[in-house]
A and B are shown apart, each in its own frame.
Chain A
Amino acid sequence: MALQRTIRKLINSQNYLLPRGAAFLHSHATSFGFTEVNEEEKRKLVGNVFSSVASNYDLMNDLMSVGLHRLWKDKLISKLGPFPGMKHLDVAGGTGDIAFRVLESIRGVSHKAMHDSFAETEGQTQIFICDINPNMLNIGKKRATERGYTKNSYLHWVEGDAEALSFEDGSMDGYTIGFGIRNVTHIEKALAEAYRVLKQGGRFLCLELSHVELPIFKELYDYYSFSIIPTMGELVAGDKESYQYLVESIRQFPKQDVFAQMIVDAGFQAVEYENLVGGVVAIHSGLKL
């Protein structure tokens, strides 16, 4: 571990100065941030990261994105268009932000007026939150109790791996993954699993930190990512390493177009993406037909 840390520090200081091409020599499956690791190891390392950030996860989200992450998640839900009776799966949804929003959207007053004819199907709504890390799930369960969502059993917390879901084929109307697909070792497997569990007509939506191309904004964003965020992580959570991994993993993730092509290759149709804040965040969506 100490050796890895040293290697990472060395690569870190140089990678920021290396041309972009060199950084992308690592493939996603064997990259842990800018460090190269074995495929089996990546899963463990990511697990460690999330076990240590779980308790401060929501606070750090607010600090790093200056509260914008709430708007991004709202936008994701408005794109999804939840309806009563929906079976929804939120993968890597640990602390439950997206799942709570889906639930609120279905139970919301304005929707009740619109969907009064669907009152009988509202009871069939099922929202599954799947996460590989039990610490994150526990935080989520606690938040759900605090908000009083445990009265009707709409929410189900499931521990599972995005690359090997334990749900049946064609059982979900919607699949969302928010800020999680970056941490998966094999993205293609996660996409294939998403395709498998969706019904015909089901939608896949992915909210993820992505690449910025705008000239001046890009420099500002890079400075913010590499200088300010790890420092913030150190001050608030006492964990600089995890947040260093976070910002590096964003750079390692495929660009918007490449990722969209991967979604098409998994079998989805009508694939499109939308950049928010100039590319800091991108929402990719696809349809299974």
Chain B
Amino acid sequence: MKIKSSVRYQFNGDRLAPQKGTMRPSGGDSPPPLCPRFQIPHRGRGIDIPPRPFQRRTSASPASADPFRGTVAAAEGDPGRGKYEETQARVFIAALPHTARLGWTESALIAGARDVGVSPAIVGSIPRKDAALVEVIKSRFASPIIDQRDELKNELKDLTLSDRLTKLIRIRLEMQAPYIAKWPQALSIQAQPANLPNNFKQRAELIDEIWHAAGDSGSDFDWYLKRTILGGIYSTTEVYMLTDHSPDFRDTWVFLDRRVKDAFDLQKTVQEAAYLAEAVGAGVGNTVKGFMAGIFPGSK
């Protein structure tokens, strides 16, 4: 390996400044004394920047040789952090087209890193690689519904509530259609215990968005019930879609339609059952009162 002189770059606050001249001495000279380049107290901003504090962050991964552990990360908000997150985002987005062939795996991320022009070693620094990739695509799916809420309102205002819900869920699931080949893998990744909290959060937000777009702005007592039922409908339809081979997923939409109608029917059924119980209860109550009056005459 030849020793060569080159222009070096030094991290100087938020920009890279080239350092001219060679750094390595020629021949067999002893290294020069510690030159000013290696003393990096000032970051060229003209003010005294205190040393960057570190935040404590507890590590949550299980497998290890020992019980004692601690991790510390550089403070958020310093310029380097932003660049890291931006590069990470670019790698994720570049990795998405590769998932059709490579699945939701590290390989897709490595291919994405190569496309961006960054060394694939960056993938090693991403925690929960496959899950992070799945979460990225889910948030990309979610944004159209949020951004186009107003246009959707116009489309939906002539429909009944059940039709509105059907249409919104269909719009969302159609976005998943290009990735359907490897979607079972994505679902299984999300079902892993480490990834469940994020999964629940994203789904809850999605269902909330759908209800809002469908025009439900109330916060009455059956808010949880509505979201639970819709969440159930969404999940079962998603799973049904995995094995649906009809053209344009026709069978899935029929399935979805039936499920939503069932839910509304169920609601009516539950109400009717409640009335019935009330009536029966009232009837029984009268009977008991009469009986008691018969046994203990004169009592109230």
Residues on A facing B (Cβ under 8 Å): 40, 68, 71-72, 75, 79-83, 85-86, 114-115, 117-118, 158, 163-164, 166-169, 173-174, 186, 188-189, 192, 195-196, 198-203, 214, 217, 256-257, 260-261, 264-267, 269-279, 285, 287, 289
Q: Is B210 part of the contact surface with A, judged by Cβ < 8 Å?
A: no
- Which residues of A have CB within 8 Å of B1? 158, 166-168
CB of B3 within 8 A of CB of A166, answer yes
The reply to whether the CB of B27 lies closer than 8 angstroms to some CB of chain A is: no
- In the assembled complex, the Cα of A118 lies from the Cα of B107 at a distance in Å of 9
Please report the C-alpha to C-alpha distance between residue A287 and residue B30 in the assembled complex, in whole angstroms: 30
Q: Is the CB of B74 within 8 A of A270?
A: yes
Q: Does B71 contact A (CB under 8 A)?
A: yes
Closest to B6 in A: A169
- Is A269 a contact partner of B83 (Cβ separation < 8 A)? yes
Query: Can you identify 29 A-B contacts, CB atoms within 8 angstroms?
Result: A72-B65, A82-B124, A83-B120, A83-B121, A83-B123, A114-B105, A115-B107, A117-B101, A163-B31, A166-B1, A169-B8, A174-B121, A174-B124, A186-B31, A196-B23, A198-B119, A199-B118, A201-B119, A201-B122, A203-B122, A256-B72, A260-B74, A264-B74, A269-B83, A272-B57, A275-B71, A287-B122, A287-B125, A289-B87
Total A-B pairs, Cβ < 8 A: 152
Q: Which residue in A199, A273, A278 is a CB contact (below 8 Å) of B119?
A: A199
Q: How far is the CB of A251 from chain B (nearest CB, A)?
A: 19
The answer to whether B200 has its CB under 8 Å from any CB of chain A is: no
Contacting pair A260 B54 (CB below 8 A): yes
Q: List, in ascending order, chain A residues with CB within 8 A of B83's CB.
A: 269, 289
B288 to chain A, nearest CB (A): 70
The size class of the interface chain B forms with chain A is 35 or more
Pick the most buried of B71, B84, B120: most chain A CB atoms within 10 A of its CB. Answer: B120
How far is A195 from B1 in the complex, measured between Cα atoms in Å?
A: 18
The chain B residues found within 8 Å of chain A, CB to CB, are 1-4, 6, 8-11, 23-24, 30-31, 34, 38, 40, 51-52, 54, 57, 59, 64-66, 68-74, 80-81, 83-84, 87, 101-102, 105-107, 110-111, 113, 117-125
Residues A260 and B65 in contact, CB atoms below 8 Å apart: no
Report A-chain residues with C-beta under 8 Å of the C-beta of B84. Answer: 269-270, 287, 289
Cβ-closest chain A residue relative to B129: A81
What does DSSP make chain A's interface, helix, strand, loop or mixed? mixed
Partner of B68, one of A40, A164, A277: A277
In the complex, are the beta carbons of A200 and B118 less than 8 A apart?
A: yes
Complex Cα distance, B38 from A289, in Å, reads 19
Contact A173–B70 (Cβ < 8 Å): no
User: Which residue on A lies nearest to B79, using beta carbons?
Assistant: A269
* Chain B residues near A270 (CB-CB < 8 A): 73-74, 80-81, 84, 125
Closest chain B residue to A189, Cβ basis: B38
- B124 A203 Cβ-Cβ under 8 A: yes
The answer to whether B34 and A186 touch across the interface, beta carbons within 8 angstroms, is yes
